[in-house]
Every structure is written in C-alpha cells, then in structure tokens.
C-alpha cells in the first residue's frame, strides 16, 4: 500500500511540468487568436476611445509578460478569471457545464462498451461468421457517419416522425425542474432526491445524444477488442489452457479477455479524452449546455479567460484519466505492478 501511494505521488509530481506547459502554451495561443475581446465587449457601435477604455479595464494594454504573471498569480489563488461572454467567473461556468458533458460522454461510453466489447469478443471467437461481418459493418458505419448527421437523422426519425423522443433542447424538458444540485449529474441528483419522474425524463432526454455518441465511440472499441482477442487466442498460454482441459468460459474470459483488456482500456482512455473535448457537434445538434459548445463560443468571442480555463480543465482531466488507466493496468494484470523507481 505504501509503495502504491508513493508511486501515485511520483506520477502526480511528474504531471506538474505538463500542467505548467499547458498554462504557458494556452496563454500564448489565446493571445494569437484573431479578433480583439475589447471590441467584442465594447460592442459594434463603440468608438476607438471606448474600446481603449475597455482594453485598459480588461488589462489588455499591459505587456504580454505582465499579463501572464498576473494571470498566473490569479491561477495560483484558484481564480480562472471572468468570462466576457457570460459575465460569470470561468470556474463557475466550468462547474455548471462540465457535469453535462461528463454525463453525456460517460453514458455514451457505457452504452458503447456494453455493445462493442461483447461484439468484439464474439467476432474474434467466430472469425469469418455473420457476427464478425456485423462487427465490421458497425465499425465502418461508426467511423464513416459524422456525428452531426447521425444526430440530425435520429432527431428527424424519433422526434419529428415518430414522436417518441422529447424535444432536443437541453438536458431536461421545460416542464420539469432541475433536481437539487449535488453532483451536477441529473441522473445521480434525481436519484438522490428520490425523484423518479425527473430521472425518467433525464433518461429520455439523454437517449438520442447518447446513441449518437455511442455509435461513434463504438467503432474503435469494437475494433480494438476484436484485434486484442484474436492476438490473445492465438497465444501459447491459451493453447496450454485448452490442453489442460479448462472450460471454454474459463479460457475465453479468465485468460483471453483478461489479457486482451489492456489495449482495450488504453483505447477507452483515448476515446474518452477525444470525445469529451470534441463532442461540440452533438452538443449543438441537441442544444446540450456542455463544455464543448462553451469553448467554441469563447473562441468566437476571443474570450481569453474562458478558453484558457477550458484548456486547463481538459489538461487536468487528461492527467486524472491517465492515472486511472495506470491503476487499471495493475488491477487487470498484477504482473505490471507499480514501478516506484
């Protein structure tokens, strides 16, 4: 236990230079964005004097080095700045929007894993069968169809034609009140409040955007599961296990799938990282108030504080995710362990 805690501490310490690099690079790149936030904030009809006053109020008239050290000093105090687009502190905006994106992304990954992993295993076990061909079709379709097209198609069929889905306007239909905020996840908060009606409404609202993202994330997970299982099933230890007379289930799941999970977990981490920051098209189609649409709106307005806050939040999430993946490796395969050297 002490070795594990020491290893986690070392890996967290190794992330400090990464976070500092992200802070510096995001600061420099945001200043290189086209447009002037002072012009956006002052309004289209403002004169040059008014724009200059706004620029001074925002501190944009200071030298770049001075701006950075002021920003870094605020960052150390936990102040990410104030968004000129919303007028709210960036930390407040992120706290409100990040749970929406996480809930959507995690729901999509759970659905895609529930389909992709069993499908990939079956495709590897029954190579060349109809299951294998079905896996290839789903993988090709998931990669080929853009998420915005899939989302619009689902809305057209299930909302407009059939009327089965609620209106694609946010996390909850307007006839329902938001559950008392505890985690920011409506599914969890509604269960904590024992409000099953709101929970059901949240599930219905989540269904179409979750399916849209799940179809996209299903492809790499199923493909990696199939490839990893094929490699595992052709290995010597599987042949030895079969020769020892072990049951088919023990061979497939106890030895084959467990050894194939390492690349699958790595793929899951990569997919989660990519989708969380790139699901803006799905958020736009379903008017989902997530962090992706927040970042795009901040980029359009040259909202420096909001863009930097988004990049920093993503960096911290990726660091946390990589640590979780490392811990998962040791749980799946104890031979990996924790190297504390």
Tell me the pLDDT tens digit for each residue of 247-262: 777 777 777 777 778 8
Q: What is the mean pLDDT of residues 286-294?
A: 87
Neighbouring CB atoms inside 10 A of 71's CB total: 21
pLDDT band at 3 (very low <50, low <70, confident <90, very high): low
pLDDT at 341 over 50: no
pLDDT at 117 over 50: yes
Q: How far apart are CA 327 and CA 262, in angstroms?
A: 11
Q: What pLDDT, on the 0 to 100 scale, is given for residue 73? A: 85
Helix (H, G, I), strand (E, B) or coil at 89: strand
pLDDT at 19 over 60: yes
Neighbouring CB atoms inside 10 A of 252's CB total: 21
Domains, the chain: 1-85+301-341 (no CATH), 99-290 (1.10.3720.10)
In this structure, are residues 76 and 59 in contact, taking their beta carbons and an 8 Å threshold?
no
Q: What pLDDT, on the 0 to 100 scale, is given for residue 328? A: 74
Q: What is the mean pLDDT of residues 73-81?
A: 83
Rounded to the nearest 10 degrees, what angle do helices 304-332 and 2-31 cross at? 150
Q: How far apart are CA 67 and CA 87, in angstroms?
A: 20
Q: How far apart are CA 332 and CA 68, in angstroms?
A: 43
In this structure, are residues 120 and 135 in contact, taking their beta carbons and an 8 Å threshold?
yes
Write out pLDDT tens, residues 26-66.
888 777 766 666 766 666 666 777 777 777 776 777 787 88
pLDDT at 338 over 70: no
Q: What pLDDT, on the 0 to 100 scale, is given for residue 340? A: 46
């Amino acid at each position: 236990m002490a070795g594990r805690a020491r290893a986690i501490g070392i890996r967290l310490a190794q992330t400090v230079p990464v976070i500092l690099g992200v802070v510096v690079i995001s600061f420099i790149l945001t200043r290189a964005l086209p447009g002037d936030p002072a012009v956006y904030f002052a309004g289209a009809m403002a004169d040059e004097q008014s724009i200059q006053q706004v620029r001074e109020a925002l501190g944009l008239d200071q030298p770049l080095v001075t701006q950075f050290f002021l920003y870094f000093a605020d960052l150390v105090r936990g102040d990410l700045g104030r968004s000129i687009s919303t007028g709210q502190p960036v930390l407040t905006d992120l706290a409100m929007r990040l749970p929406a994106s996480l809930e959507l992304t995690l729901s999509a990954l759970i659905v895609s894993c529930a389909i992709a992993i069993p499908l990939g295993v079956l495709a590897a076990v029954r190579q060349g069968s109809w299951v294998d061909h079905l896996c290839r079709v789903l993988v090709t379709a998931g990669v080929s169809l853009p998420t915005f097209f899939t989302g619009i198609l689902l809305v057209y069929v299930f909302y407009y034609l059939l009327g089965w889905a609620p209106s694609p306007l946010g996390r909850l239909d307007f006839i329902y009140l938001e559950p008392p905020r505890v985690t920011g996840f409506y599914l969890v908060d509604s269960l904590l409040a024992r409000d099953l009606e709101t929970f059901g409404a949240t599930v219905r609202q989540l269904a179409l955007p979750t399916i849209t993202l799940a179809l996209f994330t299903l492809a790499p997970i199923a493909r990696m599961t199939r490839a990893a299982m094929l490699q595992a099933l052709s290995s010597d230890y599987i042949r030895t296990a079969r020769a020892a007379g072990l049951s088919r289930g023990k061979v497939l799941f106890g030895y084959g799938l467990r050894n194939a999970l390492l690349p699958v977990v790595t793929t899951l981490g990569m997919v989660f990282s990519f989708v969380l920051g790139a699901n803006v098209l799905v958020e736009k189609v379903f008017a989902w108030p997530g962090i992706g649409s927040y970042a795009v709106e901040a980029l359009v307005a040259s909202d420096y504080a909001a863009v930097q806050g988004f990049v920093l939040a993503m960096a911290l999430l990726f660091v946390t995710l990589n640590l979780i993946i490392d811990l998962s490796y040791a749980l799946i395969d104890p031979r990996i362990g924790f190297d504390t050297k």
